[in-house]
Structures are given as structure tokens and as C-alpha cells.
A and B are shown apart, each in its own frame.
Chain A
Amino acid sequence: MNAEFEAVIGIECHVELKTATKMFCGCRNEFGAPSNSNICPVCLGMPGALPVPNAKALELIVTAGVAFGARIPEFSKFDRKNYFYPDMPKNYQISQYDMPLSVGGSVKYWMGDGSLKECRLTRIHIEEDTGKSTHAGSGDGRIAGSSYSLLDFNRAGVPLMECVSEPDLRSPAEAVAYLESLRRTLLALGVSDVKMEEGSLRCDANVSVRLRGSRELGTKTEIKNMNSFRSVERAISGEIERQIAILSSGGRIVQETRGWDEINEVTHSMRSKEEAHDYRYFPDPDLVPLEIAASDVARIASAMPALPWQRFERYTAQYALGIKQATQLIDNLALASYFDRVVSLSGNPAQSSNFVLGELSRLANETGVAVADSKIAPEHLVELIGLVESKRINSKIAKELLARMWTGAGSPAAIVEREGLAQTSDPSAVEPLVDEVLTANAKVVADYKTGKTNVLGFLVGQVMKASRGKADPSLVNELMREKLSR
């Protein structure tokens, strides 16, 4: 980017809520059902049908608001947003205009270098999703010029959370990091599946540029149709460059909505500000105002799980895990909870992450069973970490034990005790084994003495084998070197 300029970015997200049923009727809320199979008079906007709000959906919005530190006003209401579109059954969308369920708050996110940042939220409100149109015959899938359209109303009336950020983001990378954190948080809260590929997360970006140091905002454009985090990054980058090029050549930015063209990787103008709709918002007379009890907000706050950014801070600052390790854990919620439990019992984050992200994750991949669902109780892993820490077993035995524990062998301490697997660190027990190996491998010893020192590993291995793996490898090494140097 041209160093003279700075980008100012705000993100609007639409997130489908993970409820069993739709926002205003009893139809199932599920992705991928046969077209028009989850429909009823209410979500089809049949004459006379009326909406009744889904309490679970309201609770999910409040949960998200509380997680982001937002204010949950005591009163809220539903408004109608009026415009005609064939896949919108009532030709108005039930939404919220001036009294959203959640006001303010912020999303904390982290960058690739581990720095924590924050983007303020304007508001979070609830609304209903529209149906889905498939326009045929126009070639580009748009309604203009199409010869006919197919409508699927399964999605009509699915509860949708709209989350609007302040223009606090300064680069495409920050925008993506913000979205990543938002996605992780909503997943952790169980608010949504947040799958961009299934459309349960959709986002638009408001982008403007200004001279660095300026406090005024430049004219913004809104970018739509971004279908992945990668396209968000590219679309915003492209738009920033486009705007800088216009401004640098003395031009002016036109306030407009621009669509991202995934194939050609450019944005194109969709409509100007003058063509913007007048939605004629007014309070929906079919729905009564919402009262959110302070006790409900308190109950939700007290049941709040660990949030991804809080975990990130704890893992990197307190546990000194690497950014990659921390992120790997955060992106696997069940694994992170398992890890947290192991750390809290063992007090050893480094060993805990080594085992959880190392051998246990390998076993999980191999067997297709998640670590948290495996037969290794956190308590048993903690026992194993204790055995390694106190040098009662070596890492080879530890690995063998884990494999057995994975299939249900239970307490590692008990196995070590029962099978005498404890590491042998007594020189008087190890020395005879070293002597035996030296005697039996006279030729190798001779090689060593002529300078082929790399045979040491072989000799140590033979001793380990003779001890059935129990000898302390460092002791074996030490004794071997000593005897060979004589």
C-alpha cells in the first residue's frame, strides 16, 4: 500500500444462528434439506400467518453480546424492513432498526505476530433470513436477463444475527484476523456453525482510505459477495488499491456498493447511493416489544465459557506457548478444554502441550477418535507427565504407555508399577549390561576406537534393548563413553 495513505475498514456480518427451528415458526433450521421441505404458512408469508419469536435465538444474540462486552438494553423491538424481492416471502424482512438487542462492545483479535488488537462493535441485532433464488438463463446467475428463477424457501425465516463493527480496522489482514476471532468466538459460544461455504457466515466490508494522520473519514464503498476469508482479504486489498489510485490521480471516490467478482478478482459497481432503497422501517405490529430481564443477562454472563482471545492471551503470555500451538488448540475447542484440564492438574503447560498436540494428536489422527473422546482421562495423562518429569520413565516408555492408554489401559502409574517399567538409573544395575554389550560387539568397539564414533548410537541402543527399554538413556550414554575412552 502507498505509505501516504491509510485504509479504514468496517465489517458487517450476517451469521445464521444455530437453533433447532426457524426465527418465527416451528420449521426446522437445517442446511442441505431438499428444496422447499422445511416450510409452513408462516415462513412462506401466507395470508394471515403470524410470526412468533424463537426465544432460543434471542438468547443466542444476548450471549454473543455479553461475550463481546456489549450493553444489553432492557427493551428492544422488531421492525419491518420493506422492499420487494422474489425470495423474500412477505416483501418485508423482520429486523431491528433503532433498538437492537445488543449495543457496543468489541471483538478482540490477534495478528500473526501474536499482537492482540480490538475492534469496537456498533451493534448486534436479530433478523430473519430470506429464501434462496437460483436465476437461470442469464449466464451470470443474476436476476437481470434471466429467463426464469427457482425459489427455495428452506432458508426463509432462519434466524440471522447482524453484527456491525466500527471502522476500526486498518488493513485487510486485520479484517481477516477480526473475522477469524469473531468466527472462533461464535463457535465457542455455540451461537452458529459459522461456515462461510454453507452461507452461515456472510460478510460485507465498508472500505475507505485517507491520508495517514488525517482524522476525517474518506468516502466509503461497500463490498459484497465475498465468499471466503481469502476473498475478503483480496477484495479489500483490491479496493484499497483502486481507491488510492483514484485519489492519487486527483479523482473522487463515489459512494456505492461494489460486488466482488471471485473469478476475475475485481470489484464492480452494483448500485450508487442514489439508488439506495428507502426501507420504510417501522415497528412490526405483529410482534410485541421485547423485555430482556437483567437476571437473564446475569445468568448468561455467569455461564460464559472461556473465549478464544482469552485463551490466546493465557496460552501465549502465561503458558509461553507458541502462536501456532496456541491457535491450534483454540481452533479445536474440545482439545483446548482437555488441555486446560491437563494444565490445571499438572501445572506443566509445556509438557501438557507437547503430549496433547504431539503424541495424542497423532494417535487421534491415526484412529479417527478425538483426544477429548479418547480413553485417556486427563488425570491419567497428568500421571504420565509426572512419571516423565520425575524421570521414573523415559520418553520411549512414555510413548508406549500412551499407545496402551489410548486403547483403555488406564492408569500409567499402575502399569509401571505392575510391569516394573520404571527407568533404571542405578549405575550398578546398568554397568553389567554395558559390559555385556561391549564384550559381544568387539568388532564395533574396534571400529569406534579407529575413529568411527558414530557407532556409539548402535551400542547404546543395544544396551537399551537389553534393559527392555528401562535403562536411563543418559546414564547408558555416559557409562558407554567412559568405558570406550579407556
Chain B
Amino acid sequence: MTTEVIERSAAAIAAAVNARRNSAVEITEATLAHVAAVDGGVGAYLTVLDELARSQSARVDERVRNGERLPLAGVPIAVKDNMCLDGTRTTCGSKILENWIAPYTATAVARMLEAGAVPIGKANCDEFAMGSSCENSALRVTRNPYDPSRVPGGSSGGSAASVAAFEAAIGLGSDTGGSIREPGAFCNLVGFKPTYGRVSRYGLIAFASSLDQIGPLTRTVEDAALAYDAMAGYDQMDATSIDRPVEKAASSLRDDLRGLRIGIVREFATEALGAEIHSRYRDAYRDLERLGAELVEVSLPTADYGVATYYLIAPAECSSNLARFDGVRYGLRVEGHDVREMYDKTRAAGFGAEVKRRILIGTYALTSGYYDAYYLRAQKVRTLIARDFERAFARCDLIACPAASCPAFEFNAKSDPYSMYLMDYYTIPMALAGLPALSVPCGWVLPEGGSVPMPIGLQLCAPLFTEKLLLGAAHAYEQATQHASAHRPLLPQVSA
């Protein structure tokens, strides 16, 4: 019974709890027991919230008994550890916040809890969400449940691994340049980044404010839609949150793609990704066509500048956003003989190499005299990239392309920072344009030197605010192809 419950989708769990076939408490206990059994091997969580999960699940059961129907009743969730949850340790995967207890709850998290979700734990991530493999966490190693010798992707690697390993049904992640979609692809999940401004950033510890967006990692598209429906919508605590109505997505998923034109990006030809991967994407595009979509070729001529643009804008914003971690009010403090030395020692000890690298890059890019050449120029290119998408969407309803150039790689395979930055090549342009995009499992490949097949993801991207269309199309593709269920995670080996 235990395995059966924890492997259910969020939709199935909520239905069972609402119908009182299962209690939230029972599901929570099963999940906590599973976490205790496997997380030593997976390493998804930095903090397991046993107590909070138990009290919240009891509260959910009570609400259900009182006649409420909750869209996420009893659904176990993992919360990326860059989101505040009142009274819980919130580390951002960093030494500098290793023992920081959040004094308030992020809006997105609060909305999930209000909808009946049960927080199982705070999930590991690259330090301050900077990275694409979770290897930049200063606090824990997270392994890919499909091959523990490989990374789960990042930065939302802990959230992805927890869902892939059935340690949660929904993982909350944040996507700045691909941090939901890439780990989604690496862990055989749906990884969904809504339109910038759709989900409140209040309580999400900022990496790059103009790009950060919270979204779900789930085992099904329907679950992603449920999480989106719970979280999306205007929040007066976030000035960049968008005050316009949200169309509920979960209740209007579709099973075909008839009448849709799907753009295939000329510049994103997949031949260079290797024969096996190329053939998976060719099959995926063919499946889209088979489901009734008309494929059209579109061009994103400036998308190639995405990585360079991103690595000016994101570090510039982070250099300022992370200035508050100074040892004065909270977090790590290493004493010095004066305040200057205290700052230096605290930040030297508290931040990891990648965070320091980006603070330095960003500080340089904003320096008077370089601002026009770097930051301002990057903002202009960002506008050009957004215009490329606008032009493309004049010719199609959705864009399909790879979510990443390869499947999950082995630990330490990308020790050169630039090769790691290139992991987000396909996901950065959408982030720069603020567009909603997701990755959905589209097949399996045997990586070079690997012993087990690893999943890869198809990325779908839609115009601003058309999440309903995007999720609907992804659902049709998922239901018709069923790639996700072809292989199971290697949990017994992990927990052994």
C-alpha cells in the first residue's frame, strides 16, 4: 500500500483525500517513511519538515471533514530551499544562510498550503539558484534517482530529485535561466516555468529579480496545472506580479493538437546533439504533427546571444541582490576587527566559488564606464530576443525545441564554468523574454559511457500569459506518448 500511495499523482492524491478514501495524515506518514528510507541516497532534502508536515496534514484532514474540497488536499510537496516558509530553516544551499530561520512565508508557498498541500521538506539547490547540476550546493549532494552517478540538474535539483524519487508529488522550483526545465528534463519530469510575473516572487530569495519565476516540477502535466492554478495570480506584495485574470489550466487540458501551429526553431537544429538525441526530437516533432498540429519553421536569429546576454544581466542583478548578506542582521557572521573586515570575512566564508564569480562579473558589468558596454547593451539584446519570439509567434501558437543539449551528466563532468553555462542554451532565451515554457519527457537515451537509459525533455514555449494553451498542448503530447513511464527510478539501489 505504501508504494502505491506515494507513487500516485497529485491529482489522484487530492481526489482520494477529498473523497476521504485516504487521509492526508496517512499519505504524509507514508511519504515521510519513504523519505527516511531513500533520501540518504537521493539527497533531495536539506531539511525534512516532519513536524510541520504532520500538523499541516491533520489540518487538511480537518478541513476536508468540515466539507471543504481542496485542490491539493494532502499532496506532499518539496519546497526549494530558496523560498521562505515561516519558522523553517531556509538556506539557499549556502553556508551564509545555513542556520537562518525564515520569519515569514513566501506567497507561492502560502497559496500551496492554503490549497491543501503538505510541505515534506526544503529541497536542495545550487547555491542561490546559481548552477545547472545542483553541484553548487554548499550543503549536500543530490543524486539523479535514475542514475545516482549523475546529477539531477539544477538549480532546482533537490525539488526534481524528490519528485522523481516519490519523496513528493510536486516540487516547487524557481527558474531564472532554466532551473526548473533542465532538472525536469534530467529527472523524467514535467518542469514548468510560468510567464514572468504570474507567480509572486514575494519570499523567493532573489537571484536575478527580472528573471526569477517560481513553478512546479511534477510527474504529470495535470499536476503541473494543479500547482499552477493554486499559485498563479496577482500578489500585492510583489510589484512585478501581474494583475490580470488567470485562466484555470487543470480543468481544460486537451488530448489533441488539432488547429495548432507549432514552430520548430531553425537555429535549434538537433543534428549536432548526436544521432540518438536527434532521432528522439525528430520523433517528438512527428508526434506533435500526428496529434494534429501543423509544424512551421520559425527563426530566432538572436537566440544565440542568449547565454552571453543572460550572463551579464543575471550576475548584475545578483551582485546587488546578494549585497544584503553581510553578517550584520542575519545569517553567518565571521567577526573582524572592524565592520569592513567583518563583511569581507563573512562573505569570503559564506559564499561559494560560483556565487563569488557571478558577484564579481555583475559588479564589473555595472561599474561606471562599463555599464553602457555591458549591462545596457545586454538589456538591448534582451529586447531583440523578445522581439524574435514575438515575430515567431505571429506564425505559430507554440514553439517546440530541446530542453537541454544532453541528458543528465556525471558529477564533475562540467567543471569548466562556461560548459556549465551552456547547459541553459535552450532555456535562457525564453527566460529573457519572460515567456511561459515547460519541459515534458520525450524519450530515453543511453548516454555515452552510461549503463542505464536517461530521460530527455521536449521544451514547449508559448506567448505571454498563455499557460492554459501551453499546459493543454503538453498534456496532449504526454498522454499520447507516455514516455515517462518507460523506466522506473533506481530507488532500491539508491536506498541500499
B326 touches A91 (CB 8 A): yes
Which residues from chain A contact B92 at a C-beta distance below 8 Å? Answer: 47
**B26-34, B100-108, B389-397, B455-463: which lies at the A interface?**
B100-108
A92 x B320 contact (CB < 8 A): yes
Query: Taking the complex as formed, is B324 at the interface, i.e. its CB lies under 8 A from any CB of chain A?
Result: yes
What are 21 sample pairs from A and B whose C-beta atoms fall under 8 A apart?
A46-B102, A46-B103, A50-B201, A50-B240, A52-B236, A53-B239, A80-B320, A82-B366, A86-B326, A90-B324, A91-B323, A92-B320, A151-B328, A278-B368, A280-B371, A282-B316, A285-B208, A285-B210, A285-B317, A287-B240, A288-B240
Q: Let me know if B202 is at the binding interface, CB within 8 A.
A: yes
Contact B201 A92 (CB under 8 A): no
Residues of chain B with a CB closer than 8 A to A143's CB? 339
Contact A51 to B324, CB < 8 A, known contacts A46-B104, A278-B367: no
Q: How far is the CB of B288 from chain A (nearest CB, A)?
A: 35
A51 close to B329 (CB less than 8 A): no
Residue of B nearest to A287 (CB): B239
The binding surface of chain B is classed by DSSP as loop
Residues in B2-32 with C-beta less than 8 Å from chain A? none
Would you call A89 an interface residue if the criterion is a C-beta within 8 Å of the partner chain's C-beta atoms? yes
For residue B343, CB closer than 8 A to chain A, the reply is yes
18 more CB-based (< 8 A) A-B contacts, given A47-B102, A280-B367 = A46-B102, A46-B104, A47-B325, A48-B82, A48-B201, A50-B238, A51-B239, A52-B236, A52-B237, A86-B326, A90-B324, A91-B324, A92-B320, A92-B323, A279-B368, A280-B319, A282-B320, A285-B210
CB atoms of B366 and A280 under 8 A apart: yes
Q: Which B residues fall within an 8 A CB radius of A?
A: 82-84, 90, 92, 97, 100, 102-104, 106, 201-206, 208-210, 236-240, 316-317, 319-320, 323-326, 328-330, 338-339, 343, 363, 366-368, 371, 375
Q: Is A286 an interface residue when CB atoms closer than 8 A count as contact?
A: yes
User: Which chain A residues lie closer than 8 Å to B330 at the CB level?
Assistant: 46-47
Inter-chain contact total with CB atoms closer than 8 Å: 102
Give the residues in chain B near A51, CB-CB below 8 Å. 239
Cα distance A41–B100 in the bound complex, in angstroms = 13
In the complex, what distance in Å separates the CA atom of A149 from the CA atom of B338?
Answer: 11
Q: With A and B bound together, what is the CA distance between A1 and B483 in angstroms?
A: 88
- Whether the pair A52, B339 counts as a contact (CB closer than 8 A) is no
Query: Do the beta carbons of B238 and A52 come within 8 Å of each other?
Result: yes
Within 8 Å by CB of B204, from A48, A151, A288, lies: A48
Question: Which of B84, B237, B317 lies in contact with A47, CB distance below 8 A?
Answer: B84
CB distance from A364 to the nearest CB of B (A): 46
Of B103, B209, B324, which is within 8 A of A286 by CB?
B209
The answer to the question of A259 belonging to the interface, with a C-beta cut-off of 8 Å to chain B, is no
Would you call A45 an interface residue if the criterion is a C-beta within 8 Å of the partner chain's C-beta atoms?
Answer: yes
List the A residue with the shortest CB-CB distance to B197: A288
Bound together, the chains give a CA A50 to CA B97 distance in angstroms of 18
Question: For B97, what are the chain A residues with a Cβ–Cβ distance below 8 Å?
Answer: 47
How many chain-A residues does the 8 Å CB contact rule pick out? 32
Q: 3 nearest interchain CB pairs?
A: A91-B323, A285-B209, A285-B210
A residues at B contact (CB < 8 Å): 41, 44-53, 80, 82, 84, 86, 89-92, 143-144, 149, 151, 278-282, 285-288
Rounded to whole angstroms, the CA-CA distance of A46 and B371 in the bound complex is 28
Decide if B366 touches A44 in the complex (CB within 8 Å): no
**A188 CB, nearest partner CB in chain B, Å:** 31
User: What's the least CB distance linking A143 to chain B, in Å?
Assistant: 7
How many angstroms from the CA of A474 to the CA of B258 in the assembled complex?
A: 108
A286 touches B100 (CB 8 A): no
A53, A143, A279, A280: residue with the most chain B Cβ atoms closer than 10 Å: A280
Smallest distance from the beta carbon of A80 to chain B beta carbons, Å? 5
Contact A280/B363 with A82-B320, A89-B324, A285-B317 known, Cβ cut-off 8 Å: yes
The complex places the Cα of A280 from the Cα of B372 at a distance, in Å, of 12
Q: Is the CB of B324 within 8 A of A45?
A: yes
> Which of A80, A144, A282, A286 neighbours the largest number of chain B CB atoms within 10 Å of its CB?
A282
| Min C-beta distance of A300 to chain B, whole Å | 23
Nearest CB of chain B from residue A467's CB, rounded to whole Å: 74
Task: Give the shortest distance, in Å, between A23 (CB) and chain B (any CB).
Answer: 12
Would B206 and A48 count as touching, CB distance under 8 A?
A: yes
Distance of B84 from chain A, by nearest CB (Å): 5
Contact of B366 among A45, A84, A282, A288 (CB under 8 A): A282
B368 touches A286 (CB 8 A): no
Q: How far is the CB of A43 from chain B (nearest CB, A)?
A: 11
User: Is the CB–CB distance between B90 and A47 below 8 Å?
Assistant: yes
CB pair B329 A48 closer than 8 Å: no
Compute how far the CA of A72 lies from the CA of B202 in the bound complex, rounded to whole angstroms.
31
- The residue in A52, A279, A285 that gathers the most chain B C-beta atoms within 10 A of its C-beta is A285
Cα A285 to Cα B240 in complex, Å, equals 8
CA distance A466 to B14 in the complex (A): 101
Residues of chain B lying within 8 A (CB to CB) of residue A53: 239
Pair B104/A52 contact, Cβ less than 8 Å = no
Among B201, B206, B237, B368, the residue within 8 A (CB) of A280 is B368
In the bound complex, do residue B209 and residue A48 qualify as a contact, i.e. CB atoms below 8 Å apart? no
Nearest to B92 among chain A residues (CB) is A47
Chain A proximity of B81: nearest CB distance (Å):
11
Contact for B83 among A48, A92, A278, A281, CB less than 8 A: A48
Closest A residue to B375 using CB positions: A282
- Choice from A45, A47, A50, A280 contacting B100 with Cβ under 8 Å: A47
Q: How far is the CB of A41 from chain B (nearest CB, A)?
A: 5
- List chain B residues, Cβ under 8 A from A149: 339
- Asked if B329 and A82 sit within 8 Å, CB to CB, the answer is no
For A48, the chain B residues whose CB sits under 8 A away are 82-84, 90, 102, 106, 201-206
Question: Residue on B with the closest CB to A46?
Answer: B103
Residue in A41, A92, A280, A285 whose CB lies within 8 Å of B104:
A41
Asked whether, in the complex, the Cβ of A84 is within 8 Å of the Cβ of B104, the reply is no
**How far apart are the CA atoms of A90 and B97 in the complex, in Å?**
15
A281–B368 CA distance with the chains assembled, in angstroms: 8
Nearest Cβ on chain B to A277's Cβ, whole angstroms: 10
> Is B326 a contact of A84 with CB atoms below 8 Å?
yes
A180 to B326, CA, bound (A): 40
